[in-house]
Amino acid sequence: ATPPSLRCTLSDEDRNRRVTAVTTAMRLLLIASAVGLSQQLGAVPASTARVQRSRSAAPRAVEAHRGALRSRLVGIGSAAPDTVVTNEQLSSVVETSDDWISQRTGIRQRHLLAPGEGLSTLAARAAQKALESSGVDAASVELVVLATSSPDDLFGDAAHVAREVGATGAVAFDLTAACSGFLFGVTTASQFLHTGAYKTALVIGADALSRWVDWSDRNTCVLFGDGAGAVVLQAAVDGEGEEGVLGFALHSNGAGRPDLCLGYAGAERPLASVASVTTGTYAPISMVGKEVYKFATSRVPEVVGEALENAGVTADEVDWLLLHQANIRIMETVAKKLKIPMSKVINNLDEYGNTSAGSIPLALDAAVRAGKVKKGDVIAMAGFGAGLSWGSAVVRWG
């Protein structure tokens, strides 16, 4: 029998509270057992899986995609100023000669904007020709990318150019990557087309570096000319074999900035006794030629190789090699390292000189109009220049 001191009686309220506690404990034990069994069987309840995911150490890395993009190049156009200055004529400006320039660079003349002529006008002319060659209505263009380092308006020329050609419904912006600009612009626009954000894009490369050249420095003033080129891109239909951008690779390295730059050089302007600011201007183009040559002849073959690998294309399968038109010696060295014959290298350097972001589309337009580049041809393109920046894209024309 229970000793009298330990006897007790429970009220109905206490009895119900204890029953509830025991019942709750049993339910929790049953749930825990069910979760353990489901984990052993590989069937974790959705709520438990969510908790497990939230407690994971780190998110999974997204695999980089630099292969084929659903973007096709369907039209091209170019424009250059009417004013042409030959090497011989330039010899009256600085101490130089046609032989000295042409043997070292491959350049024989350049086109230069005259006073009163604008870069945006040149860009619009090239864009209009590209639209005409593609048969695309300007009103259907949804994206305009203008690659330039020398706009008429420091805030950007792209929106103005879009309006000039009738692409009034497009979003438009400038992209600055110097001589790599056009190639960076094509890969940027192609991302928008690949994802389905837009269906039609216009990419323009245009520069007027004659504005920023020191015309008393024969090492730089002989190199540059003014010009613009443009391509129309359209989203490719689903299915293999329809992609126009087959693979790409892009790089930059700010450590090389002093080797090729166009730096700000503002003059001080006091604001009474409050503060001092600067009145804006830029110094002429500064270039360390030997360093730029070493950079280009080493990095460009590498990046073309990367783009070819990303595209699943071999150098033997390339129909044309299209490099930024900077120097014929660079082009010869790069082609040799890639084991691509010079007969496959597109070159109009002798006529236009280095037109920065305009050089690749200018050269491509000439090759297409001459019937050299045909629909279906595989072109390995590479841009390189200030930044330092460099990149390559393997494209199928048309």
Positions annotated as catalytic residues are 179, 324, 354
Query: From CA 140, how far away is CA 7, in angstroms rounded?
Result: 92
Strand partners, 309: none
**Residue indicated by tokens 């908790």:** 51
If we measure between CA atoms, which residue out of 282, 289, 245 comes closest to residue 263? 282
Helix (H, G, I), strand (E, B) or coil at 193: helix
Query: From CA 82, how far away is CA 93, in angstroms rounded?
Result: 19
DSSP 334-388: HHHHHT--GGGB---HHHH-B-GGGHHHHHHHHHHHTT-S-TT-EEEEEEEETTT
Give the H/E segment covering residue 113.
Answer: none
**Residue indicated by tokens 């989203």:** 235
**Residue indicated by tokens 């879009």:** 162
Residue 9 CA, chain-centre distance (Å), reads 84
CA distance readout (Å), 281 to 154, 255, 381, 388 = 11, 24, 34, 22
If we measure between CA atoms, which residue out of 126, 186, 145 comes closest to residue 391? 186
Query: From CA 157, how far away is CA 172, in angstroms rounded?
Result: 9
Amino acid at 224: F
Query: From CA 157, how far away is CA 119, in angstroms rounded?
Result: 9
Helix (H, G, I), strand (E, B) or coil at 105: helix
Give the H/E segment covering residue 276.
Answer: strand 275-279
Query: From CA 397, how far away is CA 75, in angstroms rounded?
Result: 9
If we measure between CA atoms, which residue out of 372, 395, 236 comes closest to residue 317? 395
Start-to-end CA distance of the chain, whole Å, equals 101
DSSP 8-state symbol, 264: B
